[in-house]
Chains A and B, each alone.
Chain A
Amino acid sequence: MEAAERLSLEAFAKEIRIATIESIANLGVGHIGGAMSIVDLLALLYGRVLRVDPARPTWEGRDRLVLSKGHAGPALYSALAIKGFFPREWLATLNKGGTRLPSHCDRLKTPGIDMSTGSLGQGISAACGMAKALQIDSSASRVFCIIGDGESDEGQVWESAQFAAHHRLGNLVVFTDSNRLQIDGYTDEVMGLGDLEAKWAAFGWYAQRAPGHDVEAIDAAITKAVVEARGRPSMIVLDTIKGKGCSFCEGDPANHNMNISAEQARAAIAALA
């Protein structure tokens, strides 16, 4: 990746963070932590990796993205709005009655959202079904999916792991946002996950680990997956910080869903700018 592109993606990530803090602060409460931890990944995906067309959100030849950790929707909405999938003014309606941007992703409401999610574990399963359909059709489109580490407590995640490996879904790339926090505390304390990378590899996936706030490193992992996976589905475990880039809550175990004041938001945005 050239330096100019890296800078441009980092600027995009900053813009997503600011828009996300603004939209959540506008309501006063929201899932800030898990939204901020996937921002750099979203900037890379929408800035470089995904073949998508904001003017044609259901274009058949596009790459798909399933945000299985559906509560991080606000970060994805910011990325989609900045890319022009819908007017930026929509961001101010987040979670308000009648909005097209609900707390958890809804394919019927938001242009650019490929699957409705929110009940954890289901999104990755649906992504498997989408990848299977594209495989049947010999499509060149790929399916990307983002799950949480807390979400990985769900048995359905591991049913999906088996399904994708068995069906050799080489068109599926899944990221685990490993921010090591879940609602009740640190994942190691609430429900230990062990070595996620080794677990996915044991399930027959091409598994890697990458620093999740480094767009160049994530990009390199995706590129490597394309070369090395050889028909296997890919897992990239991203080491992230919950609340990353949000000055008042970065790494705070209480940041899953929290109240945000206008003053906090202003300070956080000033710190980013």
Chain B
Amino acid sequence: MAETLPEMRSVYAQTLVEIGAQDPRIVVVEADLMKATGTGPFAKAHPGRAINVGVAEATLASVAAGLSVEGKIPFAATFGCFASRRAFDQFFLSANYAGLNVKLVGTDPGVAAAFNGGTHMPFEDLALMRVIPGLRIVEPSDPVSLAAYVHLAAETYGCVYLRLQRKAAPKLYAEGERFEWGRAKLLRDGRLDGKKEHAVVVALGAIMVGEALKAADLLAAEGLGLTVIDALCLKPLDSSLILEAARRSGRLLTAENHQASGGLGSAVAEAVAESGLALRFARIGIKDEFGEVGTQDWLQDRFGLRAANIVAAVKSLN
């Protein structure tokens, strides 16, 4: 690809710089990971509105809530493991229970934590966040959707958990594509030659959406159509789009860089069970294990987060 891909964190920071120029209520809150999150440009553009709390994630969430009480729109970021496990009670009570407007950003989702290893590898952040009433949860899959959801988060009153991959991700959407809360995107129509698709996969996040698209290519070469849905929002979940697509072939899979239980797999399973549809169903995700250290590539192999795993799972659904 001729175009150099921007890092997702640069897109996050640049989008906040732009929104912050229009809206003085936007503030950035960091817990000594500003260098990792990449929000330095915001601090430069809007001095006084970038607040560092030090290595104190509990305070990160509660201070953000306090800023929100006074009408600020805080974007608070830290590694996803800390945003969820370490600051859960603070995000739950100070921000969500209190009805405030805190945007919590959890970076380095799942295997993206790579060399930081199992201690820093959030395979459970989505499961935790999903039980907070009314919380919006989104994992953008490319730079365009990321910028769009940062805009939406700033414009929409209420708490948001945004799962952010810091590294570059290929563009999947054209500039100007419109996104909404609770709306997934049909990214690849698997109905080859006018026939209904063989199966549907719902994927969450840049890594698994990318693997799902590769799986669709592999299966297409064998004459099997795989429809790929980019979930984007875990909550609210676009169950109508997912179920409508799944109804045609009767085969549905989920793919996530997270425990297969508690996150997307569970959310979709619940929707399927309550829909009354009889479907063959499989989940790609972590199978009740802790993370470990390695390259992201090695970890994707280790935990079965590959196109080949999706292909095998599709074929197992007969």
Among A107, A122, A127, max chain B CB count under 10 A is at A122
- A273 vs chain B, min Cβ distance (A): 38
Cβ of A114 within 8 Å of any chain B Cβ, yes or no, is yes
Cβ of A103 within 8 Å of any chain B Cβ, yes or no, is no
Contacts of A5 on B, CB cut-off 8 Å?
none
Contacts A119-B93, A133-B72 known; A127 to B66 CB distance under 8 Å? yes
Contacts of B17 on A, CB cut-off 8 Å?
none
Contacts of A121 on B, CB cut-off 8 Å?
58
Contacts of A122 on B, CB cut-off 8 Å?
58, 62, 89-90, 93-94
Whether A126 and B65, one on each chain, are in contact in the complex, defined by CB atoms closer than 8 angstroms, is yes
- Closest residue to A70 on the B side, CB-wise? B93
* Bound CA–CA A146/B48 (angstroms): 27
Main secondary structure of the interface of A (DSSP, over half): helix
Whether A129 and B99, one on each chain, are in contact in the complex, defined by CB atoms closer than 8 angstroms, is no
Contacts of B94 on A, CB cut-off 8 Å?
115-116, 122, 125-126
Whether A156 and B58, one on each chain, are in contact in the complex, defined by CB atoms closer than 8 angstroms, is yes
* Bound CA–CA A133/B97 (angstroms): 20
Contacts of B64 on A, CB cut-off 8 Å?
129
Interface size class of A (residues with CB under 8 A): 20 to 34
- Closest residue to B62 on the A side, CB-wise? A125
- Closest residue to B93 on the A side, CB-wise? A119
- Closest residue to A114 on the B side, CB-wise? B69
* Bound CA–CA A159/B86 (angstroms): 14
Whether B27 and A136, one on each chain, are in contact in the complex, defined by CB atoms closer than 8 angstroms, is yes
Cβ of A208 within 8 Å of any chain B Cβ, yes or no, is no
Among B58, B68, B69, max chain A CB count under 10 A is at B69
Contacts of A156 on B, CB cut-off 8 Å?
56, 58-59, 62, 90
- Closest residue to A156 on the B side, CB-wise? B58
Whether A128 and B58, one on each chain, are in contact in the complex, defined by CB atoms closer than 8 angstroms, is no
Contacts of B70 on A, CB cut-off 8 Å?
129-130, 133-134, 137
Contacts of B66 on A, CB cut-off 8 Å?
115, 125-133
Among A114, A125, A130, max chain B CB count under 10 A is at A125
Cβ of A163 within 8 Å of any chain B Cβ, yes or no, is yes
Whether B58 and A125, one on each chain, are in contact in the complex, defined by CB atoms closer than 8 angstroms, is yes
Number of residues from B at the complex interface, CB < 8 A: 28
Q: Which residues B84-123 have CB closer than 8 A to chain A?
A: 89-90, 93-94, 97-99
Cβ of B53 within 8 Å of any chain A Cβ, yes or no, is yes
Cβ of B135 within 8 Å of any chain A Cβ, yes or no, is no
* Bound CA–CA A128/B93 (angstroms): 16
- A134 vs chain B, min Cβ distance (A): 6
Cβ of A211 within 8 Å of any chain B Cβ, yes or no, is no
Cβ of B231 within 8 Å of any chain A Cβ, yes or no, is no
Whether A107 and B69, one on each chain, are in contact in the complex, defined by CB atoms closer than 8 angstroms, is yes
Whether A129 and B62, one on each chain, are in contact in the complex, defined by CB atoms closer than 8 angstroms, is yes
Contacts of B279 on A, CB cut-off 8 Å?
none
Whether A126 and B62, one on each chain, are in contact in the complex, defined by CB atoms closer than 8 angstroms, is yes
Q: List the interface of chain A (C-beta within 8 A of B).
A: 64, 106-108, 114-116, 118-119, 121-122, 125-134, 136-137, 155-156, 159-160, 162-163, 166-167
The 10 A-B residue pairs with the shortest CB-CB distance, nearest first, are A129-B66, A125-B62, A133-B70, A129-B63, A116-B98, A126-B66, A159-B56, A159-B59, A130-B66, A129-B67
Q: Can you list 20 A-B contacts (CB < 8 A)?
A: A115-B65, A115-B94, A118-B93, A119-B93, A122-B58, A122-B62, A122-B89, A125-B63, A125-B66, A125-B94, A126-B65, A129-B65, A129-B67, A129-B70, A132-B66, A155-B58, A159-B53, A159-B56, A159-B58, A166-B54
With A133-B66, A163-B63 given, can you name 4 additional A-B contacts, CB distance below 8 Å? A108-B99, A129-B65, A129-B66, A132-B66
